[in-house]
């Protein structure tokens, strides 16, 4: 086998590269999820354990040796939501795909509602669920399970109505939830012009494969959000085009 510098062969380099990639992906994923803070806690505990080993602190070392035996079970329990979300990306089919006809109707209605609310500068946040089930990511929702209609969405987001303060979640061709609280993005480089709605849209699309439509209350601008990236929509036709590409 070919050696590099007399120490490593090609197999060793591939082995190390894959280990590095695995560690990087795990840390990157955890840092972008709600499990990030828990991961930091584990790193602190690990540092204390290593210090106890170096200083030969027998009592502390004995306690850690017993605790590590339960480590795998503890990790699975604590990170259960994150594990479910990751596995759901591998095993689930796209939810909003009952038929091309019903999908197109849903897209048309979302575009019409967004245009209506934009003209009146009424804020809105519409989340469209795709492969990943969002129930582990969203909080405080009111269950609806109603057919997507222009009238229903306008009523939900109209000011002073009980459900207007929060996000709507659309699953297939139905409004599954309203008044949902979404995880806010932790990206510190976001422009200050983005308010809570935009940060929530970025946050939910960073943690899942969902896409969002945001209507700004301040400017009336319509934005399309995917994978943490915001694109301003110049017209309802443009919004339909973007939604069609993602949901067809």
Distance CA 116, CA 204 (A): 24
Identify the pLDDT of residue 70.
64
Domain chopping of the chain, boundaries: 3-91, 100-247
Closest CA to 235 of 129, 137, 118, 143: 118
**Tens digits of per-residue pLDDT, 215-237?**
999 999 999 999 999 999 999 99
Distance CA 198, CA 179 (A): 15
pTM greater than 0.85 (yes/no): no
The helix/strand count (H/E) of the chain reads as: 9, 9
Q: Does domain 100-247 have CATH number 3.30.479.10?
A: no
Q: Is 225 helix (H, G, I), strand (E, B) or coil?
A: strand
Do the beta carbons of residue 188 and residue 32 sit within 8 Å? Answer: no
Identify the pLDDT of residue 31.
57
Residue 184 per-residue DSSP state: P
């Amino acid at each position: 086998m070919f050696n590099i510098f007399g120490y490593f062969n090609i197999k060793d380099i591939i082995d190390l590269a894959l280990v590095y990639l695995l560690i990087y992906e795990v840390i990157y994923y955890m840092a972008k999820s709600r499990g990030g803070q828990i991961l930091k806690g584990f790193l602190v505990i690990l540092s204390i354990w290593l210090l106890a080993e170096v200083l030969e602190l027998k009592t502390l070392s004995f306690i850690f040796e017993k605790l590590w035996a339960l480590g795998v079970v503890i990790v699975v329990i604590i990170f259960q939501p994150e594990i479910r979300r990751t596995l759901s990306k591998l095993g689930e089919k796209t939810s909003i795909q009952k038929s091309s006809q019903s999908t197109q109707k849903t897209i048309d209605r979302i575009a019409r509602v967004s245009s209506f609310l934009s003209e009146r500068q009424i804020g809105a946040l519409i989340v469209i669920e795709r492969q990943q089930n969002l129930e582990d990511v969203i909080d405080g929702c009111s269950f609806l399970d109603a057919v997507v209609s222009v009238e229903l969405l306008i009523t939900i987001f109209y000011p002073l109505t009980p459900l207007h303060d929060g996000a709507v979640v659309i699953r297939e061709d139905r409004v599954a939830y309203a008044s949902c609280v979404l995880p806010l993005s932790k990206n510190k480089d976001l422009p200050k012009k983005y308010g809570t709605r935009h940060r929530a849209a970025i946050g939910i699309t960073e943690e899942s494969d969902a896409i969002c439509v945001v209507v700004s209350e301040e400017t009336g601008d319509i934005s399309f959000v995917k994978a943490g990236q915001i694109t301003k929509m110049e017209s309802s036709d443009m919004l339909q085009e973007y939604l069609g590409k993602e949901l067809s």
